[in-house]
Amino acid sequence: MSINDLKRLIHDVPDFPKPGVVFKDITPLLADPEGFNYTVDLLADRLIATDTQEILAIESRGFIFGAAVAAKMSIPLQLVRKPGKLPRRTVGQDYALEYGTDRVEVHSNVIDTATRYAIVDDLIATGGTASATTQLVLQHGAQISCCAFVIELNFLQGREQLNGCKVESLLHYD
């Protein structure tokens, strides 16, 4: 298995969810056990090198990769969700969208100032959600070891929004 093999497992879907957008479909990667395991191994290796202690996985596809990597590394997983999706008291961070705002939240007791967090998601595009997550962690006095993504859409320059966070992406699209 190689990076090029992984890239072949990502399918482009033109005009989804709206005209002009080329959606990167990860479902063929998830359906391929060898490819999925290889992806998890690569992400885990990169996070081990950053002394990551816990993973913050971003809703919803980030949960898939974050959970698998956390299990492989035997470290805790915390969930980053949209408002109203977590059952206990939360803290959150608002962020701007093209037309309006959105918010990410975590349970109020999960961010510890003595912990190094990796933020994990399937894809970084403009960086809005990941940036809000980095801001949330930093505002609570914790450290970010790395922001890790399976896919990075380089042409959207999302990594520039991540508050200086070290970025690890497996697949790059220009």
Kind of pairing, strands 22-25 and 11-14? antiparallel
* 122-153 pLDDT tens trace: 999 999 999 999 999 999 999 999 999 999 99
* 27-62 pLDDT tens trace: 999 999 999 999 999 999 999 999 999 999 999 999
The mean per-residue pLDDT over the stretch 110-115 comes to 96
**Mean per-residue pLDDT of the chain:** 96
The mean per-residue pLDDT over the stretch 146-166 comes to 96
Q: Would you list the domain boundaries of the chain?
A: 51-173
Q: Are 41 and 65 in contact (CB under 8 A)?
A: no
Residue 155 in this model has a pLDDT that exceeds 80:
yes
pTM above 0.85, yes or no: yes
User: Three-state SS across the chain?
Assistant: CCHHHHHHCCEEEECCCCCCCEEEECHHHHCCHHHHHHHHHHHHHHHHCCCCCEEEEECCHHHHHHHHHHHHHCCCEEEEECCCCCCCCEEEEEEEECCEEEEEEEECCCCCCCCEEEEEEEEECCCHHHHHHHHHHHHCCCEEEEEEEEEEEHHHCHHHHCCCCCEEEEEEEC
- CATH number (2.40.50.100, 2.40.40.20, 3.40.50.2020, 1.10.240.10) of 51-173 reads 3.40.50.2020
Residue 93 in this model has a pLDDT that exceeds 80:
yes
Res 6: pLDDT:
97
Q: Are 153 and 161 in contact (CB under 8 A)?
A: no
Residue 98 in this model has a pLDDT that exceeds 80:
no
